[in-house]
Structure formats: C-alpha cells, structure tokens
Amino acid sequence: MTRIEKRFEMLKAEKRQAFIPYVTAGDPTCELTAELILRMEKSGADIIELGVPFSDPIADGPVIQRATERALGQHVSLRRVLQLAREIRRKSQIPLVLFSYYNPILRYGLESLARDAAECGIDGVLATDLTVEESAEYCKAMASANLNTIFLAAPTSSPERLKKIAHASNGFLYAVSRTGVTGETQELSTELRSFVTNLRKFTDIPIAVGFGISQPEHVKAVWQVADAAVVGSALVREIEKNIGHVDLVERIAHFTKWLRGEAA
C-alpha cells in the first residue's frame, strides 16, 4: 500500500475525512514550500498536492497562474520539485501527490519520472490534462513504481466515461465540484451530493472533492458527502497575500486550521 492508501485506511478506522491542501512548488520559494508543508501537516493536513509549475496552466484560475509565474521566475522545474519532495521526505511521512500537467511528465520520460518520483518519496501522480483514453502507457509506468494514478472526474462526464476514469484511478478519485478553471466560490454546487453518489457506483476507493473549496463551511459540506476535501486557490491566495511577512508559515498554519474549522 502507498502512503495515500494507508492514510485513508487510518482515517476510515478513525471515522474521519481527509483535508488535502494544494501548494505550488516554489511559491514563494522552494525552501518556504517545504516549511509550509511541514507546518500544515502539524495543522491538520492529511495529504499534500505538490503542484509542478507549468507555462500553460489551462485548468488553473488567476490565483494559481500567478503562483506558477512566481515559481517559474525562479526556474523551478519538475526535477527541482522532485528534489523538494526528497527534502520533505527526510522530515515527514505525509503522503505526497505530484500534481502536474502531462507535458512536463512526458518530456521527463514516463519510466524515468515514475522511478525518480518513487525514489524521492512521491506516492501518487495526478496529470490534470491527460485523458483517460490515452493513459494506458502512463498508468503502466506509474504502477511499475507503485505510484497511485489519480484522475479528475467532471460532473459533465457521461456514465461510461466516469466508469473508465474510476477504473484507471487508485489511491483516490478526484471529483471536480464544478465546471471551469480552479478558483474560489461562495457556494458549492447543489448537485455535488448526487455527483459523488453517482461516482460511488463505479468505485470503492476514496473520493476527494476539489475546485472552489475555500471556506470552513465548504470543507464541512464536502466531508458530509465525500472522503476528502481539497483546497487549492484559497490557500495559494493566502500565501500570496502574506509573501514578505516573516511569519508567513505561521499565518498559513492558522489559515489551515481555520479551513478545518479548528481555529479559535
């Protein structure tokens, strides 16, 4: 079992749901990214999505696009993100998901990426723009290194396609809460419960919900219908807002607790 699978098994035994923050690696620096992840773990993060900066982030809204630009400005590459994972792994066993577009993975080489990612302590890979219909070679390479392959399931997908996505996913299945790019919303879709219920017809692995989760009320609502809540843009925005503050890490730790509904 991967660390991701073990974490969900533990949470299931404890009758709890997972909190999964997304961070863009290298924003504001790789050193601070490592500190943020270690501190967020102490503040209640169960799994971390480690975003690989990419020049054409078609699924990302403006907040994560700006984070990507800041990281790319420091020449943060996929290889540097793997080094960052290795540095985190020396101090923590928190499950790590490599969150990337497919182009950097393909350029790196599927077998090489799988081997190096596993060696650096990555537990799963999510290639946001890789279609399940074209994923056989990718899935085979990741499985050879015992890495989970996590796919996005959209509410607009047909039942037949959702079945394919669910079959290709392991570790957990990422349910996109709404259509469009990443970003914060005031209200979650009223169709979320039915979407997650429909997904459960095709798989018994954990289901995580992301896109638009930005408030404690959202996290709580997701936990009522799914196994995990993913928070990306709201967290990245908070990091952006506090760049330059000496207590940035502590501020993000407090924000993490607030999202989990634990802050005073």
What CATH number is associated with residue 197? 3.20.20.70
Residue 181: what pLDDT?
Answer: 42
Question: What number is the average pLDDT over the span 227-254?
Answer: 96
> Is pLDDT above 80 for 263?
no
Q: Binning pLDDT at 50, 70 and 90, where does residue 183 land?
A: very low
Provide the domain count of the chain: 1
Residue 248 forms part of a structural domain: yes
Residue 264 forms part of a structural domain: no
> Is pLDDT above 90 for 12?
yes
Question: What number is the average pLDDT over the span 225-251?
Answer: 96
Share of the chain above pLDDT 90, in %: 88
Residue 208 forms part of a structural domain: yes
Residue 182: what pLDDT?
Answer: 46
Average pLDDT score over the chain: 93
Residue 59: what pLDDT?
Answer: 75
pLDDT tens-digit profile of 51-90?
999 998 887 889 999 999 999 999 999 999 999 999 999 9
Whole-angstrom Cα distance, residue 179 to residue 171?
A: 23
**Which residues have a catalytic role annotated?**
49, 60
Structure tokens at 256: 């993490």
Residue 112 forms part of a structural domain: yes
Residue 195 forms part of a structural domain: yes
Structure tokens at 74: 């420091």
- What range defines the domain where residue 187 resides? 3-259
How far the first Cα of the chain sits from its last, in Å, is 36
Residue 169 forms part of a structural domain: yes
Tell me the three state secondary structure of residue 130: coil
- Evaluate whether 227 touches 17 at the Cβ level (below 8 Å): yes
Structure tokens at 78: 């996929």
